[in-house]
Amino acid sequence: MFPELTNDQRRAVTHDGGHLLIVAGAGTGKTTTLAARLAHLVAAGTPPERVCLLTFGRRAAGELVRRAEQLCGDRVSGACWAGTFHAIANRLLRVHGGGLGLDPGFTVLDQADAADLLALCRAELDAHDGDAVGARPTRRARKETMASIYSRCVTTATPLSVVLRDHFGWCAGERDVLRATFAAYRSRKRAANVVDYDDLLLHWSALLRAPEVAGAIRRRFDHVLVDEYQDTSPLQADLLEGFVGDGTRVTAVGDDGQAIYGFRAATIANIVGFPARFGAEVVVLEDNHRSTPEVLATANAVLAGATTPGRFPKVLRSSRGSGPRPALVACADEGHQSAEVCRAILDRHDRGIRLRDQAVLVRTGHHSQLLELELVARRIPFVKYGGLRFLEAAHVKDLMAVLRLVENPRDELAWFRVLQLLDGVGPAIARRLAAAAAAGDGPPRPEHLPEVAATAGAALQEALTDARALAAPAAGARPSLPVERVRVWLDPVVERRYPAAGPRLGDLDALTSAAAAAPDLGRFLVELTIDPPAATGDLAGPPHRDDDHLTLSTIHSAKGGEWRVVHVIALVDGNLPSDLSTGDADGIEEERRLLYVAATRAADELLLYAPLRQHHHRGTRGHRAGAGGTGDAHGYAALSRFLDDTVLATVERRGMPLDPATVGGADVRMPSEPHPALAEVDELVAALLD
DNA sequence: AGCTTGAGTATTTTT
DNA sequence: TACTCAAGCT
């Protein structure tokens, strides 16, 4: 059936019997193998709806299903359950959540929302006992940090005190405030019927603890396939184990050498321990079909420097012919680097390599800013993945918040955000009114607003009421109608608040047309939150989809990708490894794997760039104004520590000389009381946070 | 007094 | 874009 597979791949594809772990090194045809296995299972008689595919993103899921369909000819998409752990959790909860007493109308907070709600809770505590804490530390945990701490506690089942000690030492003094903040956070989520990303997984675990529901879930699937297993958390591993019934077989795929999500509490202990925990057979794929021997030599050299070598040591063998050696391009500064990258891209383009076969990879989203300007100036079209994302733009969050109020008038966080769009309403008034709305007092009344805001407030209420009527599940109601209605109110607000509102309104247009394609407003909001558009313009759809364009991506978002020519920029110490990750050895090793992931994306040619003079933005770390007072503060950066002699021996040097110094039917009745399993999980979480 | 608003400064990676 | 601080409004 699959003539083009290698022997190892075929062994993995046709494996029959127990659980299976496929250790697939970079470029060894992991996607091909997984898609072929899916096709094989369906061809051998497994109904597609009895297969669950857990992937790292919507794109990966779609790609796998599409390729499997090509192989087996059966309809797989739509039938087979495919998506991230969070998306599958959402789907399971919509089907079975009622059995636990969960209100199926819940909305989902993304990470930014969760951080905002935590900040709101802490502010409330401050306001409440303002004088109790006389000596408040000048520097407190940022709200994003609070979200990370909270998340790490629940996804690794680790008590707050231990998480603080091991990972957030500088916040240890705030333990009491954090504990109180987390308690308030949890009760507010419950009151407003919202869940965060972690809750999706926790509620899934509650489903598995409830005997009457768990059985049905365990009987639902014959095969569960998990991709990128090296980047799963302890909680996710537990879910997988609990998910598997007697008749279920698990296929996990991953590469411990490409683990890059430690900051999100992922642990390679999962993939390392998988064979023992599940009693699984192991197939190792070591034949790399993607890259030239020259590219692999550099990638292998990067990994060779690792102080904690992987538990599944692999030697990647290239099955391809020779190509150019990777190059290290030393640049004077960032501007020079941008020019060099553009020059190289256009040069390859002139030699017949399309832009879509090239990618520029960066450690952090904002490090591509200068390059983006240069690309625009030279009219090189590009699409950016990762970094600042669509849903994080303020005006998009504004629209999403208004829409959440249409769906759920008790959404405290949405009120808090939307009320502050009214003139004369700041955090303090918004907080009071939002709390009242969440407590069930109904929407804020105009007479409770400052006089200047009363008219605008009334107009907002009117828009919400109209939109609610338009969103009602009456026959033929398209979810774009309520969106258009609230925009009558929101657009002028956006125009007034932001100087150049044109592109922002364009973003809102994209959201509006995306809503038109959704079945209803509630699902539109939830699915957008769980599977956000990966690139700017993903929502807008085809306009430039057919045009040739370059890919610009963070290394994290480039996982699984492949391009003929890959440019990796900003390879200086401080960027890669990032200054913020150099605290402990594990952090540094993860940064090294990041470079490995970047390098192994390249098929034909790998270009590494290092801007050796770095401009410091004013005022960082007590930098002293230089003599001459040009105001142009800069320092000399060292080459990334990962580009050691072993690696440098595999690359050609260009540019400046290097200074050596330098669902089915849901018919479970909804009980009036929450299920004990839910309370059980809730208590476990409470104990962790105490 | 309490609150909003504007200026100035610093910014990892993502479900 | 988010946070902090300080000025100015009600």
Q: Supply angle C-alpha A409, A412, A414, rounded to 5.
A: 75
Q: What is the mean pLDDT of residues A40-62?
A: 88
CA atoms within 13 A on the CB side of A305: 23
Nearest nucleic acid nucleotide to A388, CA to C1' distance:
C1
Q: Report the footprint of strand B: residues with C-beta closer than 7 angstroms.
A: A 56-57, 84-87, 110-111, 144, 197, 261, 263-264, 363-366, 386-387, 420, 423-430, 450, 530, 532, 534, 554, 556-557, 578, 580-581, 617-620
Q: What is the mean pLDDT of residues A524-528?
A: 88
The pLDDT, as a whole number, for residue A52 is 94
Distance A438 CA to C4 C1' (A): 29
Phi, psi of A282 (to 5 degrees): -120, 130
- Residue A128's pLDDT band (cuts 50, 70, 90): low
Phi, psi of A254 (to 5 degrees): 180, 180
For A583-599, write each residue's pLDDT tens digit: 677 888 889 999 999 99
The pLDDT, as a whole number, for residue A637 is 72
The pLDDT, as a whole number, for residue A633 is 46
Q: What share of chain A is helix, strand, coil (3-state, %, to 5)?
A: 55, 15, 35
The pLDDT, as a whole number, for residue A543 is 47
Distance A140 CA to C4 C1' (A): 12
Nearest nucleic acid nucleotide to A395, CA to C1' distance:
C1
Nearest nucleic acid nucleotide to A578, CA to C1' distance:
B12
CA atoms within 13 A on the CB side of A18: 11
Count of other CB atoms within 10 angstroms of residue A539: 21
| Residue-wise DSSP of A537-577 | TTTT-GGGTSS--EEEEETGGGTT--EEEEEE---BTBBTT
Distance A622 CA to C1 C1' (A): 23
Task: Look up the protein residue whose alpha carbon has the minimum distance to the C1' of C10.
Answer: A450
Ranges A110-124, A281-295, A389-403, A601-615, most confident: A281-295
Distance A516 CA to B10 C1' (A): 39
Distance A94 CA to C4 C1' (A): 42
| Cis before A577? omega within 30 | yes
Least confident of A2-11, A87-96, A124-133, A372-381: A124-133
DSSP state for residue A658 in the 8-state scheme: P
- Residue A308's pLDDT band (cuts 50, 70, 90): low
> What sign has the CA pseudo-torsion A109, A115, A120, A124?
positive
Contact criterion met (CB below 8 Å) for A412 and A188:
yes
Percent of all residues in chain A with a pLDDT value above 90, rounded to a whole number: 40
For A547-558, write each residue's pLDDT tens digit: 788 999 999 989
Count of other CB atoms within 10 angstroms of residue A542: 8
Phi, psi of A234 (to 5 degrees): -55, -40
> How many whole angstroms separate alpha carbon A680 and alpha carbon A682?
5
Contact criterion met (CB below 8 Å) for A226 and A251:
yes
Count of other CB atoms within 10 angstroms of residue A405: 23
User: Which strand C bases fall within 7 angstroms of a protein CB?
Assistant: 1-5, 10
A101: which residues sit within 8 A by CB, 6+ positions away? Answer: A670, A671, A672, A673, A674, A675, A678
Count of other CB atoms within 10 angstroms of residue A307: 9
Distance A108 CA to C10 C1' (A): 38
Distance A417 CA to C1 C1' (A): 15
Question: Is the model more confident about A606 or about A382?
Answer: A606
User: Which strand B bases fall within 7 angstroms of a protein CB?
Assistant: 2-5, 9-15
The pLDDT, as a whole number, for residue A600 is 96
Phi, psi of A445 (to 5 degrees): -90, 150
Strand partners, A23: A254, A284
Tokens (6 digits) for A74:
């059966």
CA torsion angle for A511, A516, A518, A521 (degrees, to 10)?
70
> How many whole angstroms separate alpha carbon A305 and alpha carbon A643?
9
Q: Kindly tell me if the per-residue pLDDT of A627 is higher than 70.
A: no
For A422-464, write each residue's pLDDT tens digit: 888 888 888 888 888 888 778 888 778 887 888 888 889 999 9
Question: Is the model more confident about A534 or about A72?
Answer: A72
**A505 membership: H or E segment, kind and range:** helix A502-516
Task: Look up the protein residue whose alpha carbon has the minimum distance to the C1' of B13.
Answer: A556
The chain-wide mean pLDDT, for chain A, equals: 84
Nearest nucleic acid nucleotide to A450, CA to C1' distance:
C10
Buried b (16+ CB within 10 A) or exposed e, A465-498: ebbbebbeeeeeebbbbbbebbbebbbebbeeee
Distance A23 CA to C9 C1' (A): 65
- Residue A631's pLDDT band (cuts 50, 70, 90): very low
The pLDDT, as a whole number, for residue A383 is 85
The pLDDT, as a whole number, for residue A75 is 78
Q: Kindly tell me if the per-residue pLDDT of A170 is higher than 80.
A: no
Task: Look up the protein residue whose alpha carbon has the minimum distance to the C1' of C3.
Answer: A142
Long-range contacts for A434-438 (Cβ within 8 Å, ≥24 apart)?
A434/A120, A435/A124, A437/A409, A437/A410, A437/A412, A438/A188, A438/A191, A438/A192, A438/A410, A438/A411, A438/A412
Among the listed residues A562, A555, A568, the one whose alpha carbon sits nearest the alpha carbon of residue A643: A568
- Residue A3's pLDDT band (cuts 50, 70, 90): low
Nearest nucleic acid nucleotide to A419, CA to C1' distance:
B4
The pLDDT, as a whole number, for residue A564 is 97
Distance A511 CA to C4 C1' (A): 33
Distance A302 CA to B12 C1' (A): 21
Global pTM value: 0.87
> How many whole angstroms separate alpha carbon A637 and alpha carbon A614?
6
Q: Supply angle C-alpha A559, A562, A563, rounded to 5.
A: 135
Nearest nucleic acid nucleotide to A394, CA to C1' distance:
C1
Radius of gyration of chain A (CA): 26
Distance A590 CA to C1 C1' (A): 28
Nearest nucleic acid nucleotide to A581, CA to C1' distance:
B12
